[in-house]
Amino acid sequence: MAGPRGEYRKSAERRAQILEAAHVVFARSGYTGSSVNEIARQVGMTQTGVLHHFAGGKVALLRAVLESRDHGAEDVLAGRTGRDFLAGLVEISRRQGEQRGMVQLYKVLAAEGTDPDHPAHDYFVERFSRITQAVTAAYQAIAADGGLVDGVDPGRAAIDTLAATEGLEVLWLNGLDVDMAADIERLISGFLTAPLGQHAATSGPATDPSQVADQAPVTRSRQPPDHVSGRVDGNSDSGVPQSGARAGP
């Protein structure tokens, strides 16, 4: 008979399986077009079994899915400022090229979330606001060091960076020959007096992770397959929450 630790481990594994199934179902059918029953069938469970682990039902599953996609980005951006923070954005875009399922899931839910009555609406409103504030702060730090091109407004540069990131994801999902990391790095560099990858960040933590991110070769993302993979990594790095803040958003 399994002890408390064994039961806890089994429950955690089951939750992870349910969450993975929710990723797949939401990416395929969206939130409004899916059901708890469909998610339950994906893992060979009953609806009651799923609700045992996610008592809030489909809304609770949606919240868990949205939170899971932000954890990796938080790790990449933690403690970064200025050029180093922007280098982290490029690194996140690079990783997205290997996570088609999660990127597609996010786009489906973001589109649905434009409806004020959608349960994810507030999440996306707050999340985009946090992203814009964080990227604006990065450009402001660069401007303070004299590293921003004359006439560039940090707030507008942040909006352009976010818009380009979101748009490139859509183009990539639709099969266009884009390199999300290289293209976003080129856009960001256009706002700076020195290209982003030219030298280490002018600000950031004492142990400078941008030296790794900035010196990493930019590789072209492979074209995504025609259909969403049956497995979506719940620890995706696709997403850009504000450094040090939970992206709930």
At 16-52, the pLDDT tens digits run 999 999 989 988 888 989 999 999 999 999 999 999 9
- Delimit the domains of the chain by residue range: 1-69, 79-225
For the chain, the average pLDDT equals: 80
The pTM score is: 0.70
What are the distances in angstroms from CA 220 to CA 76, 104, 124, 170?
20, 19, 29, 16
Class of domain 1-69: mainly alpha
- Alpha helices (H) along the chain: 4-29, 36-42, 47-53, 57-77, 82-96, 100-112, 121-144, 154-173, 180-189, 210-215
Exposed/middle/buried for 67, CB within 10 Å: 0-12, 13-18, 19+?
middle
> Does position 235 have pLDDT exceeding 90, yes or no?
no
What is the per-residue pLDDT across 179-200, written as a single tens digit (0 to 9) for each? 999 999 999 999 999 999 865 4
